[in-house]
């Protein structure tokens, strides 16, 4: 989906899961910058720029290895700090929260509880805490859409409800269908 409304000078771009709004002036400047970089940057000139910076292919390779190692270490630490949270969900929330400071925290959750627990009591707890209705799946999982869910709020949810066994779901950039699950 890619729309431009020149009358209102706004645009919407939807690439995968992200929807980004921008005005015509920003869009035109971005396109011009991109086209200029395409014209001025051949493969060889990028190598020349890399050489000017003092980076060599071996130091770039070492940097790539280090970045991968640091990322793996980050994932291990995240798993230790929030073992009940799906890594993909954690990374989605972290991405949106840091990339878009005004992100509204739109997250579709699946919260798994022990089978022998009163799931209706947990449904009521979610409603009281988040003002959202939840849907029961497989007798022990509650599915609901939360708004304003940050990493910190996710941590509070886990602290306040020790019965939670696992949390999975997905985060999205926009809070569309915020009441549907």
pLDDT tens column, 57-72: 778 888 999 999 999 9
74 and 149 inside one domain: no
Q: What pLDDT, on the 0 to 100 scale, is given for residue 119?
A: 93
Separation of alpha carbons 32 and 150, rounded Å = 35
Confidence check: pLDDT of 5 > 50:
no
CATH number, residue 164 = 3.30.70
130 and 153 inside one domain: yes
- Would residue 180 count as lying in a domain? no
Q: What pLDDT, on the 0 to 100 scale, is given for residue 19?
A: 39
Separation of alpha carbons 38 and 36, rounded Å = 5
Task: Provide the angle, in degrees to the nearest 10, between the axes of the packed helices 57-81 and 87-99.
Answer: 110
Residue 121, φ and ψ in degrees, nearest 5: -65, -40
67 and 10 inside one domain: no
- Would residue 177 count as lying in a domain? no
pLDDT tens column, 109-153: 999 999 899 999 999 999 999 999 999 998 899 999 998 899 999
Residue 90, φ and ψ in degrees, nearest 5: -60, -45
74 and 63 inside one domain: yes
Confidence check: pLDDT of 154 > 90:
yes
Q: What's the domain range around 58?
A: 43-79
88 and 74 inside one domain: no
23 and 70 inside one domain: no
Per-residue pLDDT, averaged over 81-99, amounts to 95
End of a domain among 61, 79, 97?
79
- Among 11-20, 143-152, 154-163, where is mean pLDDT lowest? 11-20
Separation of alpha carbons 141 and 134, rounded Å = 10
Per-residue pLDDT, averaged over 8-37, amounts to 44
Q: How many domains does the chain have?
A: 3
Confidence check: pLDDT of 21 > 80:
no
89 and 155 inside one domain: yes
């Amino acid at each position: 989906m890619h729309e431009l409304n020149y009358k209102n000078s706004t645009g919407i771009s939807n690439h995968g899961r992200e929807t980004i709004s921008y005005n015509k002036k920003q869009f035109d400047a971005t396109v011009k910058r991109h086209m200029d970089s395409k014209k001025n940057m051949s493969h060889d000139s990028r190598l020349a720029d890399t050489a000017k910076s003092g980076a060599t292919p071996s130091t770039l390779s070492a940097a790539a290895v280090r970045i991968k190692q640091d990322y793996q270490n980050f994932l291990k630490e995240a798993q230790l700090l929030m073992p009940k949270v799906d890594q993909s969900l954690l990374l989605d929330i972290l991405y949106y929260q840091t990339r878009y400071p005004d992100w509204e925290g739109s997250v579709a959750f699946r919260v798994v509880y022990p089978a022998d627990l009163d799931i209706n009591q947990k449904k009521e707890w979610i409603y009281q805490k988040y003002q959202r209705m939840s849907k029961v799946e497989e007798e022990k999982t509650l599915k609901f859409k939360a708004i304003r869910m940050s990493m910190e709020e996710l941590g509070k949810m886990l602290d306040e409800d020790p019965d939670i066994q696992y949390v999975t779901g997905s985060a999205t950039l926009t809070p569309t269908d915020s009441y549907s699950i």
